[in-house]
Amino acid sequence: MSITERLTTAQAIIRFLKNQYVERDGQEHPFFAGCFGIFGHGNVAGMGQALQQNPDFRYYQSRNEQAMVHTAAAYAKMKNRLSTFACTTSIGPGATNMITAAAGATINRLPVLLLPGDIFARRNVAPVLQQLELPYSQDISVNDCFRPISRYWDRINRPEQIITALPEAMRVLASPAETGAVTLSLPQDVQAEATDYPAALFEKRVWTIPRPRPDADLLRKAAEWIRDSRRPLIVAGGGVLYSEATAALARFVEQTGIAVAETQAGKGALAYNNPLSLGAMGVTGTPGANIMAREADLIIGVGTRYSDFTTASKTAFQNPDVRFVNINVAEFDATKHAALPLVADAHVTLEELSGALSDYDTGEEYRARAQRFNKEWDAEVSRIYNLEHGPPISQGEVIGAVNAASGPQDVVLCAAGSLPGDLHKLWRTRDPKGYHLEYGYSCMGYEIAGGLGVKMADPEREVYVMVGDGSYLMMSQEIVTAVQEDIKLNIILIDNHGFASIGGLSQSVGSGGFGTHYRYRNDATGQLDGRPLPVDFAANARSLGAHVIEAADLPGLKAALAEAKGQTKTTVIVIETDREQRVAGYESWWDVPIAEVSAIDSVQRAYETYEEAKEKERYFL
Ligand SMILES: Cc1ncc(C[n+]2csc(CCOP(=O)(O)OP(=O)(O)O)c2C)c(N)n1
Ligand SMILES: [Mg+2]
């Protein structure tokens, strides 16, 4: 007779999760660091009860369901996807609050396990509080909204269904190619129901994260393409970091002399001062990266999904003969741009390519040119770091001060606004995990919640969360969670009275910044162009339990950053900046459609330049 154990569905889920491990390169890691949750009637008696009786699977409280998924995703990103959190919520709004961050996790290819409560499977008491009723079906709840943004989605209508659902959930979460948000919808009655589970379900399982090698013929061909190219360029994406391939990349680059441009997720793949580092690529890129990309006859994309910010809306690669070799563990990404696809792990593929290219070098001229770009860019960064603007000072100076104050191992973190572009260009990254940008979804509100996840993943590093006033107002409440867990974040809050980023964009499309300032409604104009709104960010952060320092100028900011270093609790530094003192764009373009007809002259003019620029967009077939 097989051995069974009588548990509720929720208890069995926790028992299973506790026993899941992943292994890569011979090293084993527990896959789940615990469970974030906010309780309501949809999970308090099910998952809540199960967590209570499993204190070794730690429960973390959050202020907002979206935030806790950001935290889990940031944690997973920092751990190179080898570990994450589960997230439990009530039904209805508690569940759907997770959707925004779940989409972010899937887009960024980061594993998170979502366990939203769901309406009664039993149905007799329907409609329950917070239930969506539809006249045409009883088989739908708001949790069906998770389907398009989940890499695996299931609804558990009977306790025994988890016996087959949980291993599938793990297969997807642990797969470098498939990973993203995984949703198991848990009807509130089913969570609390018990059955006899096979004991084997709870045995320790180790999921091996493989390092698939490329097809031998394709690898040979890729080496030929590289040998034949005169102007190759590597585009390094997040996959380089997740695969822990940065040292292999540095060796490959040193050996071959091929220069590297980095995407937002790939920044840090190469140290900023490596002579073959061209820095940021694309819309928010450096002149060197964008000029060399424009001329390149071969792009070697490593672990990149080629977002429009990387490809400058498909205008970045202008050489008529350009070809692509893509190294990617996901076939979906490997085949983009009609590339020669090396569907494989970045680390082992770079090593195999190194072996196949022992006779290859880009040559002195190429190397010298890349090095010149690297040096010139560093001088430009220094110029922007030391602008001596204002006060209010410039955002570039703030970035310079934070970079100087942070140690090489420390982490800067950001997600939305004008900061990501400026950081992509200006941050001097000294460690592969030193730069953490959520720029797949660029979700305002990720910053502080994400900072929490990074610090939980690596408490030894100082974490510098850089957040705009707009993002802060959208989601800052996780300061409370940081205080609750005694987790120290350094939060640099940049107050520029609204949306510098979208304000600038609005100007560039001819709309003059409409709707992007934080100002009172003006009775005279009827518009939002009155006095500035009187938000007291320092008082706000202090009220949540943070230590707060207000800085008025650059010396004040530097002193604040020094003081923050000595602090043991989460510290918020508030600094006002001049939103009009922007960092320029360099040799790139972004497709933001402009009104084809308009009553406003500036829009008409912007449309004409837009039409012209759009002609550079290419298909790669
Ligand atoms: C959740 C969400 N809503 C809207 C946007 C579009 N958006 C991008 S940046 C931005 C403004 C950000 O303002 P702030 O944080 O103050 O940064 P700043 O632009 O001033 O640098 C907006 C609204 C977004 N990225 N995320
Ligand atoms: Mg702002």
Amino acid identity of residue 47, one-letter, is M
CA torsion sign for 403, 405, 411, 412 is negative
Burial class (CB in 10 A: 0-12, 13-18, 19+), 602: middle
Distance 165 CA to ligand 1 centre (A): 37
The two tokens of residue 133 are: 């009723």
pLDDT for residue 2: 80
CA dihedral 63, 66, 72, 75 (to 10 degrees): -90
Residue 304 has a pLDDT of 98
3-state secondary structure of 35: strand
CA 374–ligand 2 middle distance (angstroms): 30
Per the CB < 8 A criterion, the answer to whether 217 and 351 are in contact is no
Alpha carbon distances (Å) from 140 to 35, 119, 123, 166, 341: 26, 9, 12, 22, 40
Q: Give the integer Cα–Cα distance in Å for 119 and 139.
A: 10
Q: Counting atoms of ligand 1 from 1, which one is nearest the CA of 474?
A: 1
Other CB atoms within a 10 A radius of the CB of residue 407 amount to: 12
**Pocket lined around ligand 1, Cβ cut-off 6 Å:** 416-419, 442-445, 468-471, 496, 499-502
H-run or E-run covering 39: none
Q: Measure Cα distances from 271 to 268, 402, 435 in Å.
A: 6, 17, 11
Atom of ligand 1 nearest to the CA of 418: 21
C-alpha Rg value of the chain to the nearest Å: 25
Residue in the block written with tokens 């730069």: 435
Residue 52 CA neighbour count, 13 Å, CB half? 8
The pTM of the full predicted model, rounded to 2 decimals, is 0.98
Q: Using an 8 Å Cβ cutoff, are 23 and 12 in contact? A: no
Which residue, judged by its Cα, is nearest atom 1 of ligand 1? 444
Tell me the Ramachandran region of residue 600: left when phi exceeds 0, alpha when psi lies from -120 to 50, beta otherwise. Answer: beta
**Token couple for 482:** 């940081």
Helix locations, 314-468, DSSP H: 331-334, 346-356, 364-385, 395-405, 419-426, 446-457
β-bridge partners, 28: 23
Residue 20 near residue 60, CB atoms below 8 Å? no
Helix, strand, coil percentages, rounded to 5, for the chain: 40, 20, 40
Q: Which two tokens stand for residue 328?
A: 């990617």
- In ligand 1, the atom with minimum distance to the C-alpha of 498 is 16
Alpha-carbon dihedral angle through residues 592, 436, 249, 213, given to the nearest 10 degrees: -90
Confidence (pLDDT) at 509:
87
Q: In angstroms, what is the span from residue 444 Cα to ligand 1's centroid?
A: 6
Contacts of 558 (CB under 8 A, 6+ apart): 401, 404, 405
Atom 3, ligand 1: residue with shortest CA distance: 444
Q: What distance in angstroms lies between residue 537's CA and the mean position of ligand 1's atoms?
A: 17
Tallying the residues shown for the chain, one arrives at 621
Sign of CA dihedral 43, 46, 49, 52: negative
- Structure tokens of 45? 């008696």
First-to-last alpha carbon distance for the chain, in angstroms, is 60
pLDDT, residue 1, reads: 58
Ligand 1 centre distance from Cα of residue 494 (Å): 12
Give the residue carrying structure tokens 């959520």: 438
Q: Across the 621 residues of the chain, what is the mean pLDDT of every consecutive 10-residue run?
A: 92 98 97 98 98 98 98 98 98 98 98 98 97 97 98 98 98 98 98 98 98 98 98 98 98 98 98 98 98 98 98 98 98 98 98 97 98 98 97 98 98 98 98 98 98 98 98 98 98 98 91 95 97 97 98 98 97 97 95 93 91 96 95
Mutate to test the pocket of ligand 1, among 398, 426, 499, 506 (most ligand atoms within 8 A of CB): 499
Q: Which atom of ligand 1 is nearest to the CA of 468?
A: 15
Residue 282 CA to residue 314 CA, distance in Å, equals 10
Question: Under DSSP, is residue 309 helix (H, G, I), strand (E, B) or coil?
Answer: helix
Residue nearest to atom 16 of ligand 1 (CA): 470
In the numeric block, which tokens belong to residue 315? 């205008």
* 447 alpha carbon – ligand 2 mean position (Å): 13
CA dist 97 → 143, 456, 504, 505 (Å): 11, 22, 30, 29
Q: Are strands 260-262 and 194-198 parallel, antiparallel or unpaired?
A: unpaired
Count how many Cα atoms sit within 13 Å of the Cα of residue 153 in the half-sphere of its side chain.
13
Strand 181-187 versus strand 152-155 pairing type:
parallel
Are the CB atoms for 435 and 465 separated by under 8 Å? no
Backbone torsions φ then ψ of 436, nearest 5 degrees: -125, 100
What's the CA-to-centroid distance between 450 and ligand 1, angstroms?
A: 16
Task: Output the DSSP codes for 116-153.
Answer: EEE--SS-TTPSPTTPPPBTTBSS--GGGGGGGG-SEE
Ligand lying nearest the CA atom of residue 417 = 1
Ligand nearest to the CA of 472: 1
User: In this structure, what is the dihedral angle of CA atoms 149, 87, 460, 403, given to the nearest 10 degrees?
Assistant: 40
Tokens of 394: 């410039």
| Cα(466)–Cα(208) distance, integer angstroms | 35
CA of 438 to the centre of ligand 2 (A): 17
Q: Could you identify the residue written with the tokens 């060796």?
A: 251
Mutate to test the pocket of ligand 1, among 439, 471, 475, 516 (most ligand atoms within 8 A of CB): 471
CA distances from 317 to 228, 371, 580 (A): 18, 21, 31
